[in-house]
């Protein structure tokens, strides 16, 4: 073992030490909780469910020869698990426990990973700040007065401050990539259908995708190898084998990256523009070629997404009625039971989106709104296909701004929705996206986004690898963890 603390090390190094017998899975699982977690978790509030006894049991059962042997992993709380409650950040589920593991959770366990708990999230994955959790907000590890992004803010923050080297989230419109950018970590949204959605509590079924958080490009690749692949329990899985990401360190020589600078001429913070320029320079120095062209405006995608996503949410969340799952309100009649249970159990953002989606699907408005949005989605997918005919990947912002302050946008839903203006297109088109950190600006993380055509994960990882040195991704250097800004306890 090196002098570097276990919690600072890559997942691949932890697994190698466990396989070689140099490190016990239990010690690996506890490293983040004994180190930064003991000091910072109370303030950050990245987790919803975790305890030492459960971690010990999981570590004792973990195979010691798997690809992720002994690696501690935190899961967003909308992934079903046998050994932890699955609340989706909502009071309507309370302490509900699933009778099965999600497919991605089962595959993590089979690879030797230790599930250490569940991460905080916006209720039912509806939000961009993790302020809409029924159990209190998560805070950004770099500045406790700011948000970590959402809806997967808990897992992103946990990876950022060293609680775990790997975490899983879900990305319906940017909910992995946006918090990754806000927390200074890597966040991969894979091609739709490459990671099973079986056991992921549905928000928008045609948009949802399980995603990966890590501090190292190689760790993202390692997790992808473990998780990707066919699943008979998910009818939406993509046919054929998952792409081979083993050459994630092969370089970018000869690759062409699209440069749609029209997208950030207005409304994008100067720190993000500077990060894009630095990322482009790093890719060019590594042998890639910049291909400038104009691209589809983001506002077109926003309108399409918030019609389709809310419509699917209205349908998916109809199952939470007080009869089959979780919270049940006291009522004498069935209709009152439904109304009271949902009124008491759902928070304001979930109620807002259910109402919007129900309206869009209602008689007389279906063709005017939902059907028209489906046609727009087809056009958006075509625009991306045309762009990738000219380049191998796109370099774009992940977010229009660095992390914003807690409470800054909670009373302005449209402003909150526009936080995802650069990420939702990938979900509509079903293509992969990877947010890559590009260091700090005024003490706050900034990130850029790499997008590619379907099954372009190998290309995105190669490009991200070329940006590692520029973006300070990788092993946390000695003292780096103490550079976080801590404005004080709540």
Strand boundaries in 61-149, DSSP class E: 72-76, 114-119
Q: What is the pLDDT, as a whole number, of residue 132?
A: 97
Which residue is it, tokens 């990882």?
A: 461
254-292 residues labelled b (16+ CB within 10 A) or e (exposed):
ebbbbbbbebbeeebbebbeebbebbbebbeebebeebe
Q: What is the pLDDT, as a whole number, of residue 39?
A: 87
Q: What is the pLDDT, as a whole number, of residue 479?
A: 31
Whole-prediction pTM: 0.95
Catalytic residue among 31, 49, 76, 261: 76
pLDDT in tens, 147-201: 999 999 999 999 999 999 999 999 999 999 999 999 999 999 999 999 999 999 9
Tell me, yes or no, if 95 is annotated catalytic: no
What residue ranges do the domains of the chain occupy? 6-296+378-483
**Token code pair at residue 473:** 């991704």
Residue 238 neighbours by CB under 8 Å, 6+ apart: 191, 192, 193, 194, 454, 455
Examine the pLDDT at 488 and tell me if it is beyond 60. no
pLDDT in tens, 240-275: 999 999 999 999 999 999 999 999 999 999 999 999
Q: How far apart are CA 94 and CA 120, in angstroms?
A: 13
Average the pLDDT over 354-368 and give the result: 91
- Where residue 487 falls among pLDDT bands split at 50, 70, 90? very low
More confident call, 364 vs 199: 199
The answer to whether residues 155 and 373 touch, using CB atoms and an 8 Å cutoff, is: no
Catalytic residue among 128, 175, 314, 435: 175
Average the pLDDT over 310-314 and give the result: 97
The answer to whether residues 163 and 139 touch, using CB atoms and an 8 Å cutoff, is: no
Sign of CA dihedral 381, 386, 387, 389: positive
Average the pLDDT over 128-139 and give the result: 97
First to last CA, the chain: 37
Quick count: other Cβ atoms within 10 Å of Cβ 319? 11
Catalytic residue among 151, 170, 261, 301: 151
Examine the pLDDT at 483 and tell me if it is beyond 60. no
Q: What is the pLDDT, as a whole number, of residue 1?
A: 39
pLDDT in tens, 33-52: 998 998 899 999 999 999 89
**Token code pair at residue 57:** 């049991």
203-225 residues labelled b (16+ CB within 10 A) or e (exposed):
bbebbbbbbbbbbbbbbbbbbbb
pLDDT in tens, 422-435: 999 999 999 999 99
Examine the pLDDT at 311 and tell me if it is beyond 90. yes
Task: Tell me the percentage of the chain whose pLDDT exceeds 70.
Answer: 95
Examine the pLDDT at 136 and tell me if it is beyond 90. yes
Tell me, yes or no, if 246 is annotated catalytic: no
Residues 6-296+378-483, CATH architecture: Alpha-Beta Complex (3.90)
Degrees to nearest 5, angle at CA 457 with 373 and 103: 80
Q: How far apart are CA 228 and CA 218, in angstroms?
A: 15
Q: What is the pLDDT, as a whole number, of residue 472?
A: 54
Tell me, yes or no, if 489 is annotated catalytic: no
pLDDT in tens, 393-415: 999 999 999 999 999 999 888 88
More confident call, 477 vs 139: 139
365-396 residues labelled b (16+ CB within 10 A) or e (exposed):
eeeebbeebeebbeebeebbeebbeebbbbbb
Q: In sequence order, what DSSP letters do the residues of 324-349 get, joined into one string?
A: SSS-----SSHHHHHHHHHHHHS-HH
Average the pLDDT over 331-351 and give the result: 93
Residue 415 neighbours by CB under 8 Å, 6+ apart: 409
> Environment class of residue 489 by beta-carbon count within 10 Å: exposed (0-12), middle (13-18) or buried (19+)?
exposed
Examine the pLDDT at 128 and tell me if it is beyond 60. yes
**Mean pLDDT over all residues of the chain?**
93
Examine the pLDDT at 57 and tell me if it is beyond 80. yes
Q: What is the pLDDT, as a whole number, of residue 325?
A: 83
Q: What is the pLDDT, as a whole number, of residue 34?
A: 93
Residue (of 451, 400, 382) closest to 190 by Cα position:
451
Examine the pLDDT at 489 and tell me if it is beyond 50. no
Average the pLDDT over 436-446 and give the result: 94
Which residue is it, tokens 């959605």?
A: 197
More confident call, 386 vs 468: 386
């Amino acid at each position: 073992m090196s002098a570097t603390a276990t919690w600072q090390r890559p997942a691949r190094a932890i697994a190698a030490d466990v396989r070689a017998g140099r490190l016990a899975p239990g010690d690996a699982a506890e490293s983040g909780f004994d180190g930064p977690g003991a000091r910072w978790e109370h303030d950050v509030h990245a987790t919803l469910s975790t305890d030492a006894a459960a971690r010990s049991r999981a570590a004792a059962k973990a195979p010691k020869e798997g690809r992720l042997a002994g690696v501690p992993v935190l899961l967003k709380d909308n992934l079903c698990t046998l050994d932890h409650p699955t609340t989706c950040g909502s009071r309507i589920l309370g302490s509900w426990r699933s009778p099965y593991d999600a497919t991605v959770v089962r595959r993590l366990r089979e690879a030797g990973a230790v599930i250490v708990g569940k991460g905080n999230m916006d209720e039912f994955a509806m939000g961009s700040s993790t302020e809409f959790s029924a159990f209190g907000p998560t805070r950004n590890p770099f500045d406790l007065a700011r948000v970590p992004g959402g809806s997967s803010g808990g897992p992103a923050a946990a990876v950022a401050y060293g609680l775990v080297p790997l975490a899983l989230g879900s990305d319906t419109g940017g909910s992995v990539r946006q918090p990754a950018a806000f927390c200074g970590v890597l966040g991969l949204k894979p091609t739709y259908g490459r990671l099973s959605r079986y056991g992921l509590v549905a928000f928008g079924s045609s948009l949802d995708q399980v995603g990966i958080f890590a501090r190292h490009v190689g760790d993202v690749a390692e997790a992808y190898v473990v998780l990707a692949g066919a699943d008979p329990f998910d009818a939406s899985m993509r046919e054929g084998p998952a792409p081979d990401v083993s050459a994630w360190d092969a370089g970018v020589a000869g690759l062409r990256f699209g440069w749609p600078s029209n997208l950030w001429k207005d409304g994008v913070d100067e720190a993000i523009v500077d990060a894009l320029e630095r990322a482009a320079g790093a890719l060019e120095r590594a042998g890639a070629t910049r291909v400038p062209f104009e691209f589809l405006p983001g506002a077109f995608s926003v309108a399409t997404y918030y019609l389709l996503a809310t419509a699917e949410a209205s349908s998916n969340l109809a199952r939470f009625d007080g009869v089959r799952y979780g919270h049940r309100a006291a009522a004498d009649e069935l209709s009152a039971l439904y109304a009271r249970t949902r009124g008491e159990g759902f928070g304001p953002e979930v109620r807002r989106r259910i109402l919007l989606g129900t309206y869009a699907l209602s008689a007389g408005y279906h063709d005017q709104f939902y059907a028209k949005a489906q046609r727009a989605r087809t056009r958006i997918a075509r625009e991306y296909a045309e762009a990738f005919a000219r380049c191998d990947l796109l370099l774009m912002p992940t977010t229009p701004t660095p992390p914003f302050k807690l409470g800054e946008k909670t009373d302005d839903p449209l402003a909150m929705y526009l936080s995802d203006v650069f990420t939702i297109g990938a979900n509509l088109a079903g293509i992969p996206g990877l947010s890559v950190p590009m260091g700090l600006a005024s003490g706050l993380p900034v990130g850029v986004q790499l997008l590619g055509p379907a099954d372009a994960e190998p290309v995105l990882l190669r490009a991200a690898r070329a940006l590692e040195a520029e973006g300070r991704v990788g092993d946390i250097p000695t003292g780096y963890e103490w550079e976080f800004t801590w404005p004080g306890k709540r």
